[in-house]
Amino acid sequence: MRRITVFSILFVFLILNTVLVLTYADENEEKKQALKSAESWLKLVDNGEYEKSWDDASKLFQGAISKADWEKTIKGVRPPLGIVESRKLKSATYATELPCTPEGEYVVIQFNTVFENKAKAVETITPMKDPDGKWEVSGYYIK
């Protein structure tokens, strides 16, 4: 009886370990895809392609701000900072729930960014996974 109990405990432990490893691997793959999407979107913003950045953003982003308001807002923020001299990944956190957003899959990404006219900035960009499986930016903030 004792052997069965020990075996059962080991079996449950192995199953839980396998599930955790697979979940971690899945999240890492999702983070990679979200990061790739974020970097691609940031290139548009870096190049002043603000209309295209709105077009390539998620429906959630587009529903929160009109294209005209996005262009007006981003033009007031980015050009004064100057060109991006460096951008280094600070963190990437997978989440299924964020404040004031619908449930879904998100990755909150932060970059330590050096701009020509601002030596220390943190860019926070949040891609979300759309129903079609594509990662698209749902939020962007510079501090």
Query: Average pLDDT of the chain?
Result: 87
Of 12-16, 26-30, 34-38, 101-105, least confident by mean pLDDT is 12-16
pLDDT value at residue 18? 38
Counting beta carbons within 10 angstroms of the beta carbon of residue 103, is it exposed (0 to 12), middle (13 to 18) or buried (19 or more)?
exposed
71 vs 23, higher pLDDT: 71
* pLDDT for 9 beyond 90: no
* pLDDT for 83 beyond 80: yes
Q: Which residues contact 1 (CB under 8 A, 6 or more apart)?
A: none
> How far is the C-alpha of 110 from the C-alpha of 11, rounded, in Å?
39
Question: What band does 11 get if pLDDT is binned at 50, 70 and 90?
Answer: very low
CATH of the domain at 63: 3.10.450.100
Q: Hey, is 66 helix, strand or coil?
A: coil
Q: Which of 55, 59, 31, 33 is nearest to 45 (CA)?
A: 55
State how many domains the chain has.
1
Residues 13-38 have a mean pLDDT of 67
Domain boundaries, position 104: 2-142
Q: Hey, is 26 helix, strand or coil?
A: helix
pLDDT value at residue 99? 85
